[in-house]
Structure 1
Amino acid sequence: MKLFNGIRQKMIEGKRLKNYVLYAIGEIVLVVIGILIAVSINKNTEVRKAEENTNKMALQIKQKLESDIEIINETRSIISEDLKIYDLYLKKDKTDEERLKVVTQAPFLVTISVQFAPINPIMSSALENATSNNSELSQKLLEIEQYYKSMESTLKPMEKIITDELISNLRYIKDNFSWYEKLVSFNAKFTVDEYKYFGSDDYRNRVVHMKFLYLNAYDGLLESFEEQLSTQLKELNALREQEEA
């Protein structure tokens, strides 16, 4: 009898051990499933956050593109008006009214009268979080960022060349003419003798050169960039609409 009781006790203990092992395995499976669910939720949250950041940055860059296109248009309008003065100065046969207009504007054509487009590049740090996902929209933002860098690397050297030319012209007048103060104080009341320089071949050549740098080369760059920014804006808007759909 004792023998049968011992065997029975061992069977009960074996059954308990088996049940415990199955319970433990079940607990482990539940923990693993819980971890996988948590990881999946966290990943989805990060993806959603990245998409939100991308959409916010896309809106900001859209607004920047629109603003910069407007800035270029305004700058080119000013340059267009400047072109009229340059052409009028270089015109051979002028009316009395045209001569009077040239008299007031000629002294400043190669020294002060220049308008640059105040366009700033996109800050790379602002795009780091926004482009962490590999969507078409984020890739377009990076493409626009690179285009802005390319645009800056072209415009800034051209602006420096024009600025250096202006400084060179001012320095020449400062070193050679006593009426330099009238020029830099915007006092256009030059005497007849003082005004003779503005009709000289030397000054005319400086005007021609400035027209080439400023009104032809620089304005030509702005025209090209305006077209490219408009294309980038159109493509960005299309991708934003696609993301929202």
Structure 2
Amino acid sequence: MIKFFRKIRQKLLSKNKFNTYLLYAIGEIVLVMIGILLALQVSNWNQDRKDRISERKLLDNIHRDFIQNKISFDSVKAINYRSLAALDGMIALFPLQRDSLKNATFWKYFSQIQDHTYNPYSGSIALVINSNSLQLIQDEDLQEYLVSWEDVLLDYQEEENLYYKMMNDHFWPYWREVLDYSGFDNEISLTGTSTVKFQNYIIDKRNYLRAIVKAIEEEPIENHINEIIRLTEPKE
């Protein structure tokens, strides 16, 4: 092709057709530029296609993780609500004052309480952030949710950490002192549950758990989970 164009230029010059040659040269330059632009366009299109494939894989991984994270969060949320209701029922019985009937109801409520932390899987988001793959994600709202997820999660878990610190440092050590875990000496347990200190620890437990429930209701963690699921949903 280059030899073909060279022959045409030489033929025009040999016939002293300079103006025609000049127009031809300009046309040749334009054709070359068009060819380069087309090549760049094809290259950009191909790269964009690869980027969209990579983006879809990232979104699918995040979507899958957060479907499970939502299931886990809904479970923890339900557990916390049930436990808080049970604690309110226990506190309504105070003072117990060695009343065996009240104690029986108290322990019935206590059996409904579960302690469960929320530990979502965030590996897919960490991979996106740490590998600089965030630029592959086109949705700016989703980018913002992904970048802020860790901070939102830590804000929520702060309330959980305070709750379990109180439980481990104060609640359980005291219970091990005043209650008969074997169940053989009911008198010890009746005495232990009748103390003001015991009842105050139950109230503390309720108040700390109420802070977790408040975080569920007022902090953005649940909305973050739902929005990440929505924004990573596969498009039909």
TM-score w.r.t. the length of structure 1 is 0.66
The residue number in structure 2 matching 1:102 is 106
2:222, 2:42 → 1: CA distance? 44
2:131 corresponds to 1:131: no
Is the 1:54–1:131 contact (alpha carbons within 8 Å) kept by the matching residues of 2? Answer: no
The residue number in structure 2 matching 1:220 is 214
**Runs of 5+ consecutive residues of structure 2 not aligned to the other structure:** 1-10
Q: How does 1:86-101 map to 2 (within 5 A)?
A: 86-92=87-93, 99-101=103-105
Superimposed CA distance per residue, residues 134-189 of structure 1 (whole angstroms, 9 cap, x where no aligned partner): x3xx2122122134223212122222211211121257438x83x78x65xxx454
Q: CA deviation at 1:41?
A: 0.8
Is the 2:145–2:228 contact (alpha carbons within 8 Å) kept by the matching residues of 1? Answer: no
Is the 1:50–1:131 contact (alpha carbons within 8 Å) kept by the matching residues of 2? Answer: no
Residues 155 and 25 of structure 1: CA distance in aligned 2, closer, same or farther (over 3 Å): same
2:74 corresponds to 1:73: yes
The residue number in structure 1 matching 2:195 is 200
Higher Rg of the two aligned structures: 1
> Partner letter of residue 83 of structure 1?
L
Residues 107 and 230 of structure 1: CA distance in aligned 2, closer, same or farther (over 3 Å): closer
Count of residue correspondences? 218
Q: CA deviation at 1:202?
A: 0.7
What's the RMSD between the two structures over aligned residues? 4.2
Q: CA deviation at 1:43?
A: 0.8
> Partner letter of residue 214 of structure 2?
G
1:46, 1:173 → 2: CA distance? 64
1:107, 1:227 → 2: CA distance? 28
Q: CA deviation at 1:201?
A: 0.8
Superimposed CA distance per residue, residues 77-117 of structure 1 (whole angstroms, 9 cap, x where no aligned partner): 212222243123212278977632534775997xxx52112
Residues 232 and 12 of structure 1: CA distance in aligned 2, closer, same or farther (over 3 Å): closer
The residue number in structure 1 matching 2:174 is 173
Percentage of identical aligned residues: 15
Give secondary structure in 2 for the equivalent of 1:115. Answer: coil
Is the 2:79–2:116 contact (alpha carbons within 8 Å) kept by the matching residues of 1? Answer: yes
Residues 190 and 52 of structure 1: CA distance in aligned 2, closer, same or farther (over 3 Å): farther
Is the 1:51–1:130 contact (alpha carbons within 8 Å) kept by the matching residues of 2? Answer: no
TM-score w.r.t. the length of structure 2 is 0.68
> Partner letter of residue 215 of structure 2?
L
Is the 2:90–2:106 contact (alpha carbons within 8 Å) kept by the matching residues of 1? Answer: yes
Is the 1:79–1:219 contact (alpha carbons within 8 Å) kept by the matching residues of 2? Answer: yes
Q: CA deviation at 1:12?
A: 10
The residue number in structure 1 matching 2:8 is none
Give secondary structure in 1 for the equivalent of 2:136. Answer: coil
2:146 corresponds to 1:145: yes
Q: CA deviation at 1:200?
A: 1.3
1:12, 1:116 → 2: CA distance? 84
Is the 2:89–2:109 contact (alpha carbons within 8 Å) kept by the matching residues of 1? Answer: no
